[in-house]
């Protein structure tokens, strides 16, 4: 099992969120648990290779 960080907020009656590693791909749910399920689904889609040109967030150490 793997752990992924995500960002989320509540907007009126919906929870909106995205994976920290993939900030361009947002999803939503009527509950926080549904949002988490949708994030897990989108993670599988993004890492399967079926979606071309997936943009990711990286980290760079410079001197």
CATH number at residue 23: 3.30.160
pTM of the model: 0.85
User: Which domain, by its residues, includes 12?
Assistant: 1-63
The confidence band for 24, taking pLDDT boundaries of 50, 70 and 90, is: very high
Q: Whose CA is closest to 15, among 34, 25, 28? A: 28
Phi, then psi, of 20 in degrees rounded to 5: -55, -35
Rounded CA-CA distance 62/52 in Å is 29
Rounded CA-CA distance 25/22 in Å is 6
For the chain, what is the domain count? 1
Model confidence pLDDT, tens digit, residues 27-58 = 999 999 999 999 999 999 999 988 889 998 88
């Amino acid at each position: 099992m793997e752990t992924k960080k995500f960002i989320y907020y509540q907007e009126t009656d919906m929870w909106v969120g995205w994976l920290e590693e993939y900030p361009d791909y947002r999803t939503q749910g009527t509950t926080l648990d549904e949002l988490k399920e949708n994030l897990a689904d989108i993670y599988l889609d993004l890492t399967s290779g079926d979606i071309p040109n997936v943009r990711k967030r990286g980290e760079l150490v410079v001197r």
